[in-house]
Structure 1
Amino acid sequence: MRFVRCRRLVGMHIDTKDTSTGLLAGKVAFITGAGRGIGAAAARLFAREGARVLLAARTEEQLKEVTQEVRAAGGTADHVVCDLADPASVRAAVDRVVELYGRLDVAFNNGAAITPPGAVDEVSQADFDHLYAVNLRGPWLAMSAEVAAIRATAGTGAIVNNSSVGSLRGNPELPAYGAMKRAVNSLTESAALTYGPEGIRVNAIAPGGTLTEMIRTWAEHSPGLLERISASVPLRRAADPEEIAQAAAWLLSDRASYVTGAVLPVDGGARA
């Protein structure tokens, strides 16, 4: 980290932000599911913290909007259309970050899908297969490509997978979703053991109720959901997407240099 020396000038106040001291200064970051919600919040935050970011998601209009917001705020960003259910699309998206920026340092595997809530026997095979393709196989494909890119360019780096507090306990309303996220936790821990000796850290975050379009969709099928979540959380509210992104940013930063293999609850104390 480079320290900046400040001078006090008579009659003049200088308020200049040195982005070289940001949490992710000098790093190249890849973010999936970056068109909205937690992923979009992460794109804005990572760029403010000094990273050059490549945003990936299925909907190009959303990606363009967030990319423009980042650039308008003085950050460096670009985007690539990526479908986590399509292996070739995932590999191409990770390749694109290296083509654009010459390296990959950190990655936030945030993209996910959700299906209508229901008990185990009410989940259709089509919905189960879709959740598997996007929420489990997608992060696995992304991690595999990201590890290869980090090895070939930066040499060392960090990956954070977005899991869910619903992966840490029984999840009767979203059983298939919870199962895929629990499997992501296992992949995270296994990858941490495998790549730690190379200097590649792998962690996960497990958000609680967060004010995203995904949870609002769930709430449409489950009236009173947000009120129940707030009542069950010691902080008595749902999270803002940026609060979740802040946890991911810290785990990806050098300040978390001795943290790997962790599944960090970011849930307002719901699991306390």
Structure 2
Amino acid sequence: MELFELTGKTAMVTGASGGLGAAFARALAKAGAGVVLAARRLEKLEALAGEIESSGGKALAVEMDVTDPASVEAAFKTVQDKLGAPVDIIVNNSGISRDNWFTQMTEEDWRAVMNTNLDGVWRVAKAGANALMEAGKPGSIINIASITALRPQHTIAAYAASKAAVDHLTRVMALESARYGIRVNAIAPGYFKTDINDEFLDSEAGDKMRKRVPMRRFGKHEELAGALLLLASDAGSYMTGSTIVVDGGHVVSTL
């Protein structure tokens, strides 16, 4: 279990104000990492930081809008100023969806999804990797992709395309960063209830989807912790450019 230990490390989680991001932050803090909670809703981050600190962990809430380059740079500067060092681990979790048939999607909705889900991942990884390289430190970047990057589904063209791009971008980042001791991997979750999809998963259509998952259920947030800690810790020290699918067997279900 010492391989999964994160004591002395600092991890940044984007989109940490709720859903999977908050679950990732709790798992990292429980493993011993100090956590930097990044999102636009500072009040929610501060509440989560208080929760983590009341349990004996360390947390810093930082406002960040991943669609705004200046906001990303300012957040990393705040971390450097307050902690005196760059973060060791980055979990690129921020994401949105604008569901519609591709023929009916507006330019604005398409760009909004790409700007958050793809461009935001690039902005945060770029800032984090540059900070690590400047400090001469190794690190781990974990991008959150999706099984929709691997199998098609109706009405989520922008979301699926953005996540497929993140999946491949992860491999390119891994190739370019390996010489600096920076590992870049991804997690592709299946269906876990979040603010983005809870209405759909609770619907009749969502229940039909649940029955097509080989495990016959959707995932629990804590069931992503194993993959997360593997990639964040020395347990995954020889892993880079990998995407770990955590989906109850959904992508291997029969057509």
TM-score if structure 2 supplies the norm length? Answer: 0.93
Equivalence for 2:241: 261
> 1:110 matched to which residue of 2?
93
- Distance across 2 between alignment mates of 1:185 and 1:234: 23
- Percent pairwise identity: 38
Moved more, 99-108 or 225-234: 225-234
Structure 2 residue corresponding to 1:68, chosen from 50, 66, 74: 50
Residue type of the alignment partner of 1:107: I
- Residue 241 of structure 1 and its aligned partner are, at CA, apart by 1.8
Say if 1:25 and 1:140 are closer, same or farther in 2 by CA, change over 3 A. same
16, 20, 33: which one pairs with 1:51?
33
Pairs within 5 Å for 1:1-272: 23-103=5-85, 104-115=87-98, 117-153=99-135, 155-219=137-201, 223-272=203-252
5+ residue gaps, structure 2: none
Q: Structure 1 residue 228: deviation in Å? A: 2.5
Deviates more, 1:129-138 or 1:167-176: 167-176
Displacement, 1:51? 0.4
CA distance in structure 2 between the aligned counterparts of 1:154 and 1:98, rounded to whole angstroms: 14
Contact 2:170 2:241 in 1 (8 A): yes
SS in 2 for 1:213: coil
1:139 positional shift: 0.4
Task: Give the Cα separation in 1 of the matches to 2:136 and 2:22.
Answer: 24
Q: Check the 8 A contact 1:156/1:198 in 2, yes or no.
A: yes
Tell me the secondary structure at the aligned position of residue 211 of structure 1: coil
* Cα shift at 1:112: 0.7
For 1:69 and 1:225, how far apart are their aligned partners in 2?
35
**Contact between 1:251 and 1:259, CA under 8 Å: does it hold in 2?**
yes
Deviation at 1:22, TM superposition (A): 5.7
5+ long unaligned stretches in structure 1:
3-20
Q: Secondary structure at the match of 2:81?
A: helix
Please list the CA deviations of residues 33-71 of structure 1 after superposition, one character each: whole Å capped at 9, or x if unmatched. Answer: 001011101111111101011000111121111111101
> How far apart in 2 are the matches of 1:158 and 1:22?
13
Deviation at 1:219, TM superposition (A): 4.5
1:74-100 CA distance string (max 9 Å, x none): 000011111111111112112222222
Shift of 1:144: 0.3
Query: Greater Rg, structure 1 or structure 2?
Result: 1
Tell me the CA shift for residue 165 of structure 1: 0.4
**Alignment CA distance shift 1:234-1:145 (3 Å):** same
> How big is each residue's C-alpha offset from its partner over 1:217-246, in whole Å with a ceiling of 9 and x where there is no partner?
4447xx324313321212111111222243
Please provide the CA RMSD for this pair.
1.7
The code of the aligned residue for 1:239 comes to: G
Alpha-carbon distance in structure 2 between the residues aligned to 1:42 and 1:114: 20
Paired letter, 2:13: I
Indicate if the aligned counterparts of 2:65 and 2:72 stay in contact, CA closer than 8 A. yes
Separation in structure 1 between the aligned mates of residue 212 and residue 84 of structure 2, nearest angstrom: 45
